Amino acid sequence: MAVAEQHRGAIAPSVRAENDTLELVKRVANLLLRGVLYAIISLIFLVPFIWMIFGSLRRETEIFQYLFPLNWHTFFPIEWTLQHYEDIFGISDAGKRAGLNFGRNLLNSFIVSTGVVISSLVFNTMGAYFFARLKFPKKNWLLAFVLVTLFVPFEVTMVPLYIVVRYLNIQNTYWAMIVPWFASPFVIFALIQYFRDIPYDLDEAALIDGASYLHVLRTIIVPLAVPGLVTVSLLEFQFIWNLFYWPLIVVQDADIQVLQVVISSQTTQEQTFWGRTFAGSALASVPVIVIFLALQRYYVRGVASTGIKG
C-alpha cells in the first residue's frame, strides 16, 4: 500500500504538468485562431477602402489598368498624383470648369448632420423620457404606434413629406434637409432602454424637493445617460451624413447641396470620373472616422450597456 501511494504521488505532478501544458497549447491555439479570424475580417473591410484611397492618388487611366491579375500595383500607384483632389476642390482648371467645390459641400453635409443630431437629441430625448419615466394612460399603445413607423419605407412617406416641405416654403434650403428628421422612432426606442435602467428613486427625490419634470430630465437623466446619448448621436450622424435620396429631391441649389449628391454627379451617361469619385468618397469618410475615434469610449460603453440589457 505504501509503495502504491508513493507511486501515485510521483505520477500526480507529472499528470498535472501534462494537463497544464495541454491547456496552454489550447489557449495559444485559440488565440492564434482568433487572431487569424480577426485579420481576415479586417482585410475584408479594409481592402476596398485601401484600394479607394490609393485609387484617388493615381491617374485615371491607371485605376483599373492593374486590377487583374492581382499584384502590388493593384493597390499602390505607379505615378502618384493629387490631380483628383485639386479637381474636387476646384483648384485645377478642370475643377473650375466643372464648377466643383467639394469643400463647400463637405461643410453643407456637416451643417445638416450636426443640425439633425442636435434637434433630434432635444426632441427625441424628451419623447424617450416621457415613455420611459412618466405615467400616462394608454402610454404603451402610443409607444407601439410610434415604433410601427419604423417599418414604413421612406418611399411611402417621401411624396407627403415633400408636399409638407413645399407648403412650409422651406424647399431648397438647409431646413428642408433638417426639419423632416427632427423625430426618430429608432432614437426614441434606443433611449428608452437607457432611461429605464436609471433608478426611479432619483426622480421621486427630485420631485419631492420641488423640481419640475424638465429639471429632472436635464440635471439627472441626461448626465446619467451620456453613453446612450453619444451612441445614438453617432448613429444618427452617420445616417444623415450618408443620406442621398432626400437631399437629391428637395435641394436643387448646388451651393447648399450635400457631399454625397455631388459625388454621385461625377457619374454621367457619357463618363464616370473614378478618380474624383474616389477622392470625394475618401474625403467624405474623414469626418465620420474622426468623430467616431474621438467619441469611441462613450460609444463602446453605450453598446456594452445595450448588450447587458439584452
User: What is the pLDDT tens value at each position of the chain, 310 positions in all?
Assistant: 555 555 555 555 666 767 777 788 888 888 999 999 999 998 888 888 899 999 999 998 888 888 888 788 888 888 899 999 999 999 999 889 988 999 999 999 999 999 999 998 999 999 999 998 888 888 888 888 888 988 888 888 899 999 999 999 999 999 999 999 988 899 999 899 888 888 888 888 888 888 888 889 988 898 888 888 988 999 999 999 999 999 999 999 989 999 999 999 998 888 889 999 999 999 999 999 898 888 877 766 665 555 444 4
Q: Is the CB of residue 52 less than 8 Å from the CB of residue 281?
A: yes
Q: Where are the alpha helices (DSSP H) in 89-138?
A: 93-97, 102-133
pLDDT of residue 11: 55
pLDDT in tens, 240-261: 999 999 999 999 998 999 999 9
pLDDT in tens, 196-247: 888 888 888 888 888 888 889 988 898 888 888 988 999 999 999 999 999 9
CATH class of 101-309: mainly alpha
pTM, two decimal places: 0.83
Residue linked to cell 423625430: 183
Distance CA 199, CA 158 (A): 40
